[in-house]
Amino acid sequence: MPEIETFYDVMRTQGITRRSFMKYCSLTASALGLGPAFVPQIAHAMETKPRTPVIWLNGLECTCCSESFIRGAHPLAKDVVLSMISLDYQHVLMAAAGHAAEAALDEAMEKYHGNYILAVEGNPPLNEDGMFCISAGKPFVEKLRHVAEGAKAVISWGACASYGCVQAAKPNPTQATPVHKVITDKPIIKIPGCPPIAEVMTGVITYMLTFDRLPELDRQGRPAMFYGQRIHDKCYRRPHFDAGQFIETWDDDNARKGYCLYKMGCKGPTTYNACSTIGWNEGTSFPIQSGHGCIGCSEDGFWDQGSFYDRVTDLTQFGVEKNADQVGFAAAGVVGGAIAIHAAVSALKQAQKKTQSTPETNKEEV
């Protein structure tokens, strides 16, 4: 593709000096958690690579993933879009509509067949022949399959594409289905979160552009570099957790001192994401820092784990609305009660037996 300029070309002609280009590369390196040794490698990648075509599809979603994406600070969303990738189809931002938009899609698919990245925000519903999400008159799932066919790799943006998210919460009336259950023959990178952190989104893209490979994925298909640890593992309130210093109720003294939100239902101990390290909106804060527990928004099925405010949650999995302790207490109570009765009857029988027979005649009873 000789007509495609490299990222470096674009930066240079923008009037950016070699020096600030190198500075940019070292910033990228540190954003990715890499040491200075990687700076030349990043620079080389930027100097030689054309802008990678990205086709971005929207299914059933709320567009918060697009919104999060444009909050990107390093790199800036505008730099990503103008200089790093070629965003050839993206409903929320593209100029063209209708036939012209679909023509742009067809053209990109044809021209870059096998080379484009498919980024999916949202998911396809399968009920009602897929017509709970219609694009250009047809079920979205059809479009998804069609575009995936020529993709090099698929990025599942957010909890919707990765897991189904809110529309897949029980009873999932549209049968909203995560991307990997529909596209099974392509490498899929899940970037869960509702939405994912902007810099995680751009971090994954820059990683792929820089190192020309897919990021290392964890067991669930998420980049290990950002999803390898729990919120809880790097939460700055963790010392309070270990100390047993908890917020007991909203806005109490402990809340004002920034104690641990565990008792308020914090799902940080079971949530894999980068919030407690990278933070949100340029590290301004993250849910826990602003006083609310993590609701587990980057985990599969986080909508169906009982109330966000319970630590020991209701057993929605079993169709009862009691938590494990309530169920356990009740069951143990029933067993204990039964045993008490049983013991009473046993004692009675034993007493009867004693009066009816001498100890020695025990064996004669049949």
Partner 1 sequence: MTITPNGFDLDNTGQRIVVDPVTRIEGHMRCEVNVDDEGIIRNAVSTGTMWRGLEVILKGRDPRDAWAFTERICGVCTGTHALTSVRAVEDALGITIPENANSIRNMMQLNLQIHDHIVHFYHLHALDWVNPINALRADPKATSELQQAVSPSHPLSSPGYFRDVQNRLKQFVESGQLGLFKNGYWDNPAYLLPPEADLMATTHYLEALDLQKEIVKIHTIFGGKNPHPNWLVGGVPCPINVHSTGAVGAINMERLNLVSSIIDKCIDFNKNVYLPDVVAIGGFYKNWLYGGGLSSQCVMAYGDIPENANDYSAANMHLPRGAITNGDLTTVHDVDVRDPEQIQEFVDHSWYEYGEPGKGLHPWDGVTEANFELGANTKGTRTNIEEIDEAAKYSWIKAPRWRGNPMEVGPLARYIVGYASGHEDITEQVNGLLTTMDLPVDALFSTLGRTAARALESEYCGRLQKQFFDKLVTNIKNGDESTANIAKWDPSTWPAEAKGVGMSEAPRGALGHWVRIKDGRIENYQCVVPTTWNGSPRDSQGNIGAFEAALMNTKMERPEEPVEILRTLHSFDPCLACSTH
Partner 2 sequence: MTDSTASSPLAGTDADAEDLAHVSRQTSVYVYEVPVRLWHWINAAAIVVLCVTGYLIGSPPPTMIIAEATHQFTFGYIRFAHFAAGNILAVAFLGRMYWAIFGNHHARQMFYLPILNVEWWREVLFEIRWYLFLEKRPKKYVGHNPLAQLAMFCFVTLGVGFMIITGFALYGEGLGAGSWADRMFGWVFLVVGGNSHVVHTLHHLGMWWIVIFMIIHIYVAIREDIMSRQSIVSTMISGHRTFKDDDPN
Q: Does 138 bind partner 1 (CB under 8 A)?
A: yes
Residue carrying the six token digits 């999932």: 172
Q: Which does 275 bind (CB under 5 to 8 A by kind): ligand F3S, ligand HEM, partner 2, none?
A: ligand F3S
Between 195 and 223, whose beta carbon lies closer to partner 1?
Answer: 195
CB of 98 to ligand SF4, least distance (A): 23
Q: Which does 231 bind (CB under 5 to 8 A by kind): partner 2, ligand F3S, partner 1, none?
A: ligand F3S
Q: Does 308 bind partner 1 (CB under 8 A)?
A: yes
Q: Which of residues 281-310 bind partner 2 (CB under 8 A)?
A: 296, 299-302, 305
CB contact set of 164 (below 8 Å; sequence gap of 6+): 123, 172, 176, 177, 178, 301
CB of 325 to ligand HEM, least distance (A): 8
Q: Which does 94 bind (CB under 5 to 8 A by kind): ligand HEM, ligand SF4, partner 1, none?
A: partner 1
Q: Which does 277 bind (CB under 5 to 8 A by kind): ligand SF4, ligand HEM, partner 2, none?
A: none
CB of 219 to partner 1, least distance (A): 26
Residue from 275, 300, 303, 305 touching ligand F3S (CB under 6 A): that is 275
3-state secondary structure (DSSP) of residue 298: coil
d(CA 300, CA 345): 50
d(CA 67, CA 52): 21
Q: Does 235 bind ligand F3S (CB under 6 A)?
A: no
CA torsion, ordered 83, 84, 89, 91, to nearest 10 deg: -80
d(CA 274, CA 239): 18
3-state secondary structure (DSSP) of residue 271: coil
Residue from 84, 160, 264, 294 touching ligand F3S (CB under 6 A): that is 294
Q: Does 92 bind partner 1 (CB under 8 A)?
A: yes
CB of 266 to ligand F3S, least distance (A): 8
Structure tokens at 271: 């949530």
Which of 19, 7, 27, 176 shows the shortest CA–CA distance to 84?
7
Strand bridging mode 138-139 / 85-90: unpaired
The DSSP H or E segment spanning 209 is: helix 198-211
Q: Which amino acid is at 263?
A: K
By CB under 6 A, name the binding residues for ligand F3S. Answer: 193, 231, 271, 273, 275, 286-288, 294-298
